Amino acid sequence: MVKVSVLYPNGAGRTFDMTYYLDTHIPMVRQKLGDAVKGAAVEQGLGGAEPGSSPAYLAMGHLLFDSVAAFQQSFGPHAAAILGDIPNYTNTQPTIQISEVKM
């Protein structure tokens, strides 16, 4: 199993519209990627390690796929639409990581 994580860094002046992300962006991504998506999760940052500190990330989105190839084949044709939607919910530049899930 492969997990594609999209991490939205926190910082001064950075914003994130969680309602738009949950109600519009994620459903659009799931629709476009279809059956290749085996699972999805969204996390909203609450805080850092120190009490009262800001979270390192405003939000994180995670999608599960059977393989890197399955992700690439499903994402490729829709990359422009999916990436083009980012300014509709955040002004931060996301970091993408692909990981192999071991558990």
Task: Show pLDDT as tens, one digit a residue, over the chain (103 residues).
Answer: 999 999 999 999 999 999 999 999 999 999 999 999 999 999 999 999 999 999 999 999 999 999 999 999 999 999 999 999 999 999 999 999 999 999 8
Domain of 93 in residue numbering reads as 2-100
Long-range contacts of 51-58 (CB under 8 A, 24+ apart): 54/10, 55/10, 56/9, 56/10, 57/7, 57/8, 57/9, 57/10, 58/8, 58/9, 58/10, 58/14, 58/15, 58/16, 58/90, 58/92
Please report, for the domain that includes residue 74, its CATH number.
3.30.70.100
How many domains in the chain?
1
Q: Is the pTM of this model over 0.85?
A: yes
